[in-house]
Each structure stands twice: as C-alpha cells, then as structure tokens.
Amino acid sequence: MQKNELKRRLKAGEAVIGSWLSVAHPTIAEIMGQAGFDFLIIDMEHGILDIEGVHSLVLTLAGTAASSLVRVPWNDPVIVKRVLETGTMGILVPQVNSAQEVEQAVRAVRYPPQGIRGIGCQRAAGFGAWFDEYLSSANEELVTAVQIETASALENIDKILSVEGLDLIFIGANDLSASMGLFNQPQHPQVQEAIRHILASAQKANVPAGLMASDPDDANARMAEGFQFVGLGHDVGLLSSTCRDLCRRVTRDVFPAR
C-alpha cells in the first residue's frame, strides 16, 4: 500500500510545490511527475476530465515522486467516494463556505465511524491485495483539503479551521476577489489583506495553507510568508505559454522575390 508522503511532509511543517493537470493523458502526467513537483492536482472542477481520466492520471503519478490529489467538481460524497477508489492521496473540495461544509467533506473521505464512505475493493485497496491495511489506515493517510475562495468563507475562516480532520486549506485568489466585488483583481490590496488574514488564522489553528504563485520568485516569497503548499502553473498553461514564447522570439524574415 502506498503511504502518503505528502501528508507526512505537511504535518512536519515542510513546504511543498506542485502544479495542476487537466489533460487526461498519462504522458503529460509522467513528464510533470518526473519534473520535480511534490504534488500534482488533477482537476475535475474545470476542464473535461472524467473519472476514467482521473484514474489514468492517478495510476501514472503513482510511479513518480509527485503525490496526486484530485480537485472534485463539488462537495458531493458520491463523487468523492468514486475518486478515492482510484487510489489518489486525497481530495481538494472547491467553494467551501462553512464549518458544516468542511465536516461534510471530511465525512465523505472517512470510513465509519468517523465518516460515511462506503467500503469498496478497487484500486485504492489494491483490488484486495491490501484491503485490510487500507481500511485501517485510510482515515489517517488521506488528505482532506478545501478551497477558501469566497467572502463567506473568509468570514467563517476560524470556524472552518476548527473542524477536526481538515488537513489543508487552499486559497483561490481569483474567485475570492470576485466574491469580494473586485472581479479579476487578485492583487488588489483588500484581497491581499484577506489572504494574509487567512494565512494568520491557519497558522494559529496549525492547519497548512496554500495558494497559487505567479512564478518561482513569487513562490519563494509566499513560502517565506508561511505558505506550505504552493502551486505553479498548470499543464495547458505551461504548454501554451512556452509555445507562444518560442513563436514570439523567432524573427520571420521576408525574403525578396527571386
């Protein structure tokens, strides 16, 4: 059974970097998994990934040093159950606004009596090869993370952070700015002040906090502030920006007619 190195490192206070996957092709996942990222988040909220695509990417990442997490499309225990059966190391739930919603996510991840997850015998349990071990350890091994990305979540942040079983919060700055009436202004001073408040609250509650960084220098600065879980780019964005940069840097000479 695969142990959750990512959760161990977060609990130890280490900082980790990662990125996002939205293309259901194992080659892309393997390239990024071998690049040096500590984690890769497979994104079902945006894009076109379905459960079969998630399964393929989780399987691929198991052969790399990068831990897999899956951002589920919604806080739905049926979706969470199916995603966890792929063998991912945890889930990230978007648009969480209250302690009650965090409790719902935690219960969806955990087996009884702490939760409501149904017992299956799919890839997570080695198709039976480590069934008993998985059932006895999954509640402690899996990561339950939620996104803080609304004004309501900001208002309820202390109650959210008090929920037992919450392993990580991830700030969605773009959606947070929109919810605060500052659409597409994540760098606005009010949004940045809200982010600092969320981080301080998380540190007080001893819950690791994360967010996206714009570049490596920004990632280093965010880690120096105390963010343990920092994302850099995503598969389609990195490919797109690299290709566009290459094309911009090549001069297309016009040769005179012969």
pLDDT < 70: residue spans in the chain: none
Q: What does the pLDDT read at residue 254? A: 80
Under 8 Å CB-to-CB from 86, ≥6 apart: which residues?
Answer: 51, 54, 55, 58, 59, 70, 122, 123, 124
Q: What does the pLDDT read at residue 256? A: 79
pTM above 0.85, yes or no: yes
Q: What does the pLDDT read at residue 253? A: 84
Q: What does the pLDDT read at residue 198? A: 98
Q: What does the pLDDT read at residue 136? A: 96
Q: Which domains does the chain have, with CATH numbers?
A: 5-141+209-247 (3.20.20.60)
Write down how long the chain is.
258
Other Cβ atoms less than 10 A from the Cβ of 175: the count is 18
Q: How far apart are CA 234 and CA 47, in angstroms?
A: 12
Q: What does the pLDDT read at residue 172? A: 98
Instruction: Choose the catalytic residue: 25, 46, 55, 197.
Output: 46
Q: What does the pLDDT read at residue 255? A: 81
Residue 233 has phi, psi (to 5 degrees) of 65, -175
Residue 46 known to be catalytic: yes
Q: What does the pLDDT read at residue 2? A: 81
Q: Angle 221-224-226 (CA atoms, 0-180°, nearest 5)?
A: 120
